Amino acid sequence: MIIMGIESSCDETSVSIVEDSRKILSNIIFSQIDIHKIYGGVVPEIASREHIKAINYVAKQALEEAGKTFNDIELIAVTKGPGLVGALLVGMSFAKGVSAALDIPIIGVNHMEGHICANYLQYKELEPPFISLVVSGGHSYLVDVKSYTDYHVIGRTRDDAAGESFDKVSRALGLGYPGGPAIQKASEKGNSEAIDFPRVMLEKDSYDFSFSGLKTAVLNYLNKEKMAGREINPFDVAASFQASVNDVLVSKSVRLAKEKQRDKFVLSGGVAANRDLRNRLTEELNELGIKVYYPEMSLCTDNAAMIASAGYYNYVKYGADTLKVNVIPNLGLEKE
């Protein structure tokens, strides 16, 4: 099956052509980072307009690179949520237009499922069941993946997600946007033990996440040091903050993997690009005999290939949607 994946949930316009669920024929990504950088974050209205300007060109390039035409496409998989409503509507409208004009089946895809499925594109041998930590700009999930379409969410963010906290702390330190790469780069020059920021574990045995308190602790530290006239070392702050986030993510991930006795662990989402997180999870889980998977950098960030892969598995299990399928900006990961 030749699938066209379409992703426009935030600030990347992406169209991909994927064969079945694992073979990428093309994966074109137009990033708006340079446009939003001057604002310190994504401006929803600007993001929507940029998607409108880019999507036709990106789709044409994806088809050309794959050596395909619209007549070769057998399924259109498009992100329906979660994400920015205006941005999502651009991808959905384009997908519906192609589906209606050429009578190609369409299926709406959960963006967070897509992040998990990104690993199938890189590791042909990977199959469920496994535990997955999904960490992105707006979401943090610990999931027991029982099959290609059966996700049991065991832990989720209660306030700020990991990626969101990286962006906010990076902005406070003047390191720029996006926060993840900026914090990681700054951390390499800092001492992760210089400042004792809190590790919020919540209730005993909880697998949920909360990073708003950590973000507030960092901001309070910066204000306190400025008021006292003391010089702030941004590299030490970045390194100490990153260590605090990763301590929580790694601790809960390892505990859940042991509890569920899974022999595979999958890391996914934009924050999966963080080297310290990758290395620590790999080291601690490998000691327990658990193999760790994480996608290459281009598949960590938002892309349409992961949407095509997730769309394939959902289409096989549930069939196509109708043209009444709509965007759901606050879509959760668990199926109804």
Tell me the Ramachandran region of residue 83: left when phi exceeds 0, alpha when psi lies from -120 to 50, beta otherwise: left
- Residue 163, marked binder: no
- Residue 250, marked binder: no
* C-alpha to C-alpha distance for 109 and 87, rounded to whole angstroms: 15
Which 3 state secondary structure label does DSSP give 69? coil
> At 223, which amino acid appears?
N
- Residue 314, marked binder: no
Residue holding tokens 């707006």? 138
Strands 291-293 and 23-31: unpaired
Q: How many Cα atoms occupy the beta-carbon half-sphere of 18 within 13 Å? A: 33
**Which residues have C-beta within 8 Å of that of residue 335, sequence separation ≥ 6?**
149, 150, 151
- Residue 279, marked binder: no
- Residue 139, marked binder: no
The length of the chain in residues reads 336
* C-alpha to C-alpha distance for 188 and 190, rounded to whole angstroms: 6
* C-alpha to C-alpha distance for 78 and 91, rounded to whole angstroms: 7
- Alpha carbon distance, N-terminus to C-terminus of the chain: 27
* C-alpha to C-alpha distance for 56 and 38, rounded to whole angstroms: 26
Contact by Cβ (8 Å): 333, 141: yes
- Residue 246, marked binder: no
Q: Which of 294, 237, 271, 2 is nearest to 120 (CA)?
A: 294
- Residue 138, marked binder: yes
- Residue 302, marked binder: yes
- Residue 137, marked binder: yes
Binding site feature residues: 111, 115, 134-138, 167, 180, 274, 302
Binding site feature residues for substrate: 134-138, 167, 180, 274
Binding site feature residues for Fe cation: 111, 115, 302
